[in-house]
């Protein structure tokens, strides 16, 4: 009897194992290996492009586990040796894996594990540093897709962010530098600001919310009145500050920073040992700061939203589809803006040359963007693009009617002398973003300026702005309510 029981137990376990292997065949480590050598011989006359485009990825993934790095590395090396396309093959494989096995809510945990297995170094498997970088990029892309899926399901009320299991998934992504964009509820925002003692902020928000009900979309002309000028250069000034009026009512300031006399720097994140403020203070030694402001948006977990990189190091790997402005802070202190809405975007690679890619649509191009960031030690962040290439992009009819204080960074070039200014519009009055953008665009156009880019900066819970005069004294009139100590990122301009 006991022998019969053992036999049944063995049969049951064996049957269960076989079913598991069949069910997870695309991911199985035990599937029969794909014959890459034989396939190469059959397709030897194909071009590299045709080979990658027509390769039977679905059949391959039925034979080879997507996480069997031993075989993947073997095939990568073989194709590098025969065609020099082993690296590209991995990117194409990753892109097709996501198409063949799209992410669903029920598979989130498993897909996260797959992404994590890719970003984990494979040094023990004798994988080169270059190959490890390829696997990491694929892993970040997969995890980024998962984050986008979660964000979408949150909006559709299919993903409860307060559920313990879901919290664990979000935390798991966070540990891998993948941050989802979750808007903090009004109630939570209220409680947090009460705890932090920001009562002025609370009453201001309530007042603005009330005014939204009675607001008008009427566009009026802005007037700029000179307020302060300093740092004299060639019969002009590197810093020009204007008071901004609308219908003869004061609504804020605009700070004009002349390039290349003033240089930009971006602090994208806190390290394990230092906050953003501490990093800024440490860097500050013997530098003459003109302006400090919050830059990219921050989610409810105090993490950067959208693709964020500092000096080539990935801070957040998620490329958000609705944030069309990719802001690149250059080592020279300049700033370049890329419009991600375009079919093809271009990144500088020296000597007047550009790298053309479509990172939103393709893992291959996303990999090129990350490689570009690492190669050139780039610093960048994503934000809302309001205008680009002398064209207003935000629509008054389609934009939300919210009234808020606003901070808009505009890169404007004089049509006559080609002089470039970075202009910060610090608007403290209740303003609709689309209406204000149109007013700023019109005001600068009338002054003979070409708008290279207009960007929305964060003024929510991280409404930070400090402006300093030529003697490094703070200008209280332009000081925003939130302390620099609370910064999650900072744009800094120095003389």
Q: Is the peptide bond before 260 cis (omega within 30 degrees of 0)?
A: yes
**Maximum Cα–Cα distance across the chain:** 104
Judge whether 280 and 492 are in contact, CB under 8 Å. yes
pLDDT digits (tens, 9 = 90+) for 97-152: 999 999 888 889 999 999 999 988 765 456 777 788 889 889 999 998 999 899 88
pLDDT at 16: 53
Q: What six digits make up the tokens of 415?
A: 């049509």
pLDDT at 318: 83
235 class by beta-carbon count within 10 Å (0-12 exposed, 13-18 middle, 19+ buried): exposed
pLDDT at 27: 46
Judge whether 345 and 358 are in contact, CB under 8 Å. yes
Q: Using a pLDDT cut of 90, give the percent of the chain over it.
A: 62
Instruction: Supply the DSSP string of 403-470, one letter for each residue.
Output: EEEEEEEEEEEETTT--EEEEEEEEEEEEEHHHHHHHHHHHHHHTTEEEEEEEE---STT--EEEB-T
Name residues of the chain where pLDDT drops below 50: 2, 19-31, 124, 211-216
Total Cβ atoms within 10 A of residue 375: 11
Q: What six digits make up the tokens of 322?
A: 């609705």
pLDDT at 188: 55
pLDDT at 301: 74
pLDDT at 279: 96
Rounded CA Rg of the chain: 27
Domain boundaries, the chain: 2-175, 199-494
Taking alpha carbons only, the member of 406, 411, 490, 487 closest to residue 453 is 411
pLDDT digits (tens, 9 = 90+) for 378-431: 999 999 999 999 999 998 887 777 888 999 999 999 999 999 999 999 999 989
Instruction: Supply the DSSP string of 197-266, one letter for each residue.
Output: T-HHHHHHHHHHHHHHHT-------EEEEEEEEEEEETTEEEEEEEEEEETTEEEEEEEEEETTTSEEEE
What span, in angstroms and rounded, lies between the C-alpha atoms of 232 and 459?
30
Three-class DSSP category at 348: strand
pLDDT at 215: 47
pLDDT at 14: 54
Dihedral sign (CA 149, 150, 152, 158): positive
């Amino acid at each position: 009897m006991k022998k019969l029981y053992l036999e049944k137990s063995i049969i049951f376990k064996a049957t269960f194992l076989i079913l598991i292997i069949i069910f997870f065949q695309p991911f199985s480590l035990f599937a029969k290996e794909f014959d890459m050598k034989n396939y190469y011989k059959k397709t030897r006359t194909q071009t590299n492009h045709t080979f990658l485009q027509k390769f039977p990825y679905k059949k391959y993934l039925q034979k080879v586990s997507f996480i069997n790095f031993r075989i993947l590395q073997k095939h990568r090396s073989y194709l590098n040796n025969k065609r020099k396309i082993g690296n590209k093959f991995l990117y194409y494989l990753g892109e097709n894996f996501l198409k063949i096995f799209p992410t669903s809510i029920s598979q989130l945990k498993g897909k996260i594990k797959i992404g994590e297995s890719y970003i984990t170094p494979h040094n023990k498997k004798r994988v080169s540093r270059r190959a490890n970088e390829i696997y990491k990029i694929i892993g970040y892309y997969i995890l980024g897709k998962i984050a986008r899926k979660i964000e979408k399901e949150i909006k559709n009320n299919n993903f409860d962010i307060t559920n313990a299991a879901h919290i664990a998934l979000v935390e798991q992504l966070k540990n891998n530098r993948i941050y989802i964009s979750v808007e903090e509820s009004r109630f939570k925002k209220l409680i947090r600001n009460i705890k932090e003692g920001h009562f002025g902020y609370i009453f201001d928000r309530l007042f603005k919310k009330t005014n939204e009900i009675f607001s008008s979309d009427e566009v009026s002309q802005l007037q700029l009145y000179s307020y302060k000028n300093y740092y004299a250069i060639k019969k002009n000034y590197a810093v020009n500050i204007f008071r901004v009026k609308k219908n003869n009512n004061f609504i804020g300031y605009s700070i004009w920073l002349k390039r290349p006399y003033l240089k930009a720097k971006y602090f994208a994140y806190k390290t394990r040992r230092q906050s953003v403020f501490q990093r800024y203070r440490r860097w500050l030694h013997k530098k003459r700061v003109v302006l400090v402001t919050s830059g990219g948006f921050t989610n409810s977990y105090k993490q950067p939203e959208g693709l964020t990189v500092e000096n080539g190091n990935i801070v957040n790997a998620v490329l958000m589809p609705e944030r069309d402005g990719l802001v690149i802070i250059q080592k020279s202190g300049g700033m370049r803006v890329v419009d991600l809405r375009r079919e093809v975007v271009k990144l500088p690679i020296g000597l007047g040359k550009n790298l053309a890619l479509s990172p939103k649509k393709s893992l291959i191009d996303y990999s090129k963007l990350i490689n570009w960031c690492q190669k050139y030690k780039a610093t960048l962040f994503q934000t809302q693009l309001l205008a680009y290439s002398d064209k207003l992009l935000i629509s008054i009819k389609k934009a939300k009617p919210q009234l808020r204080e606003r901070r808009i960074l505009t890169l404007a070039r004089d049509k006559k002398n080609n002089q470039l200014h970075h202009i910060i519009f610090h608007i403290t009055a209740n303003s609709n973003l689309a209406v204000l953008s149109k007013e700023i665009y019109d005001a600068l156009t009338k002054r003979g300026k070409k708008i290279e880019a207009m960007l929305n900066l964060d003024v929510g819970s991280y409404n930070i702005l400090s402006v300093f005069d030529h003697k490094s004294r703070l200008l209280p009139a332009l000081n925003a309510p939130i302390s620099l100590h609370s910064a999650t990122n900072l744009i800094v301009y120095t003389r």
